[in-house]
Structure 1
Amino acid sequence: MKTKKSILISVITSFIIALILTSCGGGNNKEKKESPRLMPSEHGSMSDRTEQGVSTGVEHEQHNNLAENFAHKNIVILDEVYPVNKQTQAELEEVIDAYLLMKNALVNGDVAATNKAINLMLDKIKVVKPEKLDGEGLDAWKDHIGLYTDKLQEMQHVNGLEEKRSYFSHLSEIMYCTIKSFGLKEGNLFAVYCPMAFDGKGAYWIAESKTIQNPYFGDKMPTCGEIKEEL
């Protein structure tokens, strides 16, 4: 009798133990947990986004990341290039040419040439015909032309080269957004960054050559800069 009771107790005990192990995920039949999927961060690398099936363009991600480092965050930059007709493209690229003249004048420390380029750039932005644009393109250009006009007019009223250079850094950020938004002079321009400008705050500019010629330091530190993006 005692033997039967011992066997019964042993069976019941084994059943309880098996039940506990099953409930806690133990035992030989333990389920394997699925590994968590790595989701791309907001500013993840392009390879991460491709692996996760996120559809995005390299240029779009690149210009968004670069623009996030700008001192001014309120400049409109379109997610995709807005196509413009040949006439509007030519008019916008003349604005770029006036900007580059200003950049070179600042590289040379030439106040008179800088002022001449300021006036030329003001004239060139007035030539661009907004009626040739619509939708997002029109909204972007209205934003840019307003910022250009304000900064260029402020540059006209300061005399010192250093003060003009400060305004030029803002113009450079607007110019980057114009170039990227409208797909201008593709492959012929470069976004350059100098971390030493303005007491270590850093500043960007747009150049037509890979040769570094710093508009913020001129002959004091002419080669301070690194190409961050080919436009």
Structure 2
Amino acid sequence: MKTKKSILIAVITSFIIALMLTSCGGRSDNKEKESPRLMPSEHGSMTESQISESSSDNMHKQHNNLAENFVHKDIIILDEVYPVKEQTQAELDEVVDSYLLMKDALVNGDVAATDKAVNLMLSKIKAVKPDKLDGEGLDAWKDHIRLYEDKLKEMQHVNGLEEKRSYFGHLSEIMYCTIKSFGLKEGNLYAIYCPMAFDGKGAYWIAESKTIQNPYFGDKMPTCGEIKEEF
């Protein structure tokens, strides 16, 4: 009798402990919450290079999926970051900086500052020396600069803030592809998506902060947006 009682107490105790572990997060059947496991290589545990390659593959899949939502489906986006020399890196970073100034001007609803940023971005694009690039890097930049110049020149000839914001949506998609293709300002940029922009069609933009400041709505809906990718 004592043995049966002891077994019953042990079963009840085990059941209570199991419930406590589950409710406190000590145990979960949700695979998404489990810590990732490193698969062993032929020589034992996964090496640092294998971990890095796996992370790089995941990021590539992520940016491919994001780009599939773009209006422009044919912008060249390189599978791997094209290595550029220090001078070219600085020139391309200045293109990004001019874009960010435009973004800020649109957030503030400032048409004059937007026009100034448009002109600045055109000059910074022309300052990038294509003879420092070759192969797929050169092909990508030629594609991007053509698209940039088309949209920026069209943007110069529209007067309304909403029309300028529409062109900014196109520029943002090109900018995303430039940043990803050449590895610009890594660790300091975010791709943000606003589902309400352009009558619910949605649009992306690039920002240097996690704080949402919407360039498509300005002070009407300044915090509408969600970070979709960290560079």
TM-score class normalised by the smaller sequence: 0.7 to 0.9
CA apart distance, 1:58: 1.5
Q: Does 1:109 align with 2:104?
A: no
Unmatched runs of 5 consecutive residues or more in structure 1:
1-46
Match of 1:99 in 2: 99
Match of 2:201 in 1: 201
State the secondary structure of the residue aligned to 2:184.
coil
State the secondary structure of the residue aligned to 2:131.
helix
State the secondary structure of the residue aligned to 1:205.
strand
Match of 2:148 in 1: 148
Aligned length: 182
CA apart distance, 1:226: 0.2
Q: Distance in 2 between matches of 1:113 and 1:65?
A: 33
State the secondary structure of the residue aligned to 1:191.
strand
State the secondary structure of the residue aligned to 2:92.
helix
How far does the alpha carbon of each residue in 1:39-66 deviate from its partner, in whole angstroms, 9 at most, with x for none? xxxxxxxx9xx9xxxx771121111010
Q: Distance in 1 between matches of 2:142 and 2:109?
A: 31
Amino acid at match of 1:157: H
Unmatched runs of 5 consecutive residues or more in structure 2:
1-35, 40-53
Match of 1:3 in 2: none
What's the Cα RMSD here?
1.8
Which residues in structure 2 correspond to 1:151-170 (within 5 Å)? 151-170=151-170
CA apart distance, 1:122: 0.2
Q: Distance in 1 between matches of 2:59 and 2:170?
A: 22
Q: Distance in 2 between matches of 1:70 and 1:212?
A: 20
Q: Distance in 2 between matches of 1:71 and 1:227?
A: 18
Q: Distance in 2 between matches of 1:184 and 1:59?
A: 15
Match of 1:134 in 2: 134
Q: Does 1:66 align with 2:69?
A: no
CA apart distance, 1:200: 0.3
Which residues in structure 2 correspond to 1:74-89 (within 5 Å)? 74-89=74-89
Q: Distance in 2 between matches of 1:181 and 1:89?
A: 12
CA apart distance, 1:150: 0.3
Q: Distance in 1 between matches of 2:230 and 2:160?
A: 31
Q: Distance in 1 between matches of 2:195 and 2:100?
A: 21
TM-score (norm. length: structure 1):
0.76
State the secondary structure of the residue aligned to 2:219.
helix
How far does the alpha carbon of each residue in 1:11-58 deviate from its partner, in whole angstroms, 9 at most, with x for none? xxxxxxxxxxxxxxxxxxxxxxxxxxxxxxxxxxxx9xx9xxxx7711
- Structure 1 stretches of 4+ with a deviation exceeding 6 A read none
Q: Distance in 1 between matches of 2:72 and 2:217?
A: 21
Match of 1:33 in 2: none
State the secondary structure of the residue aligned to 1:69.
coil
State the secondary structure of the residue aligned to 1:220.
coil
TM-score (norm. length: structure 2):
0.76
Amino acid at match of 2:187: G
Match of 2:172 in 1: 172
Match of 2:29 in 1: none
CA apart distance, 1:77: 0.2
How far does the alpha carbon of each residue in 1:149-177 deviate from its partner, in whole angstroms, 9 at most, with x for none? 00000000000000000000000000000
Match of 2:121 in 1: 121
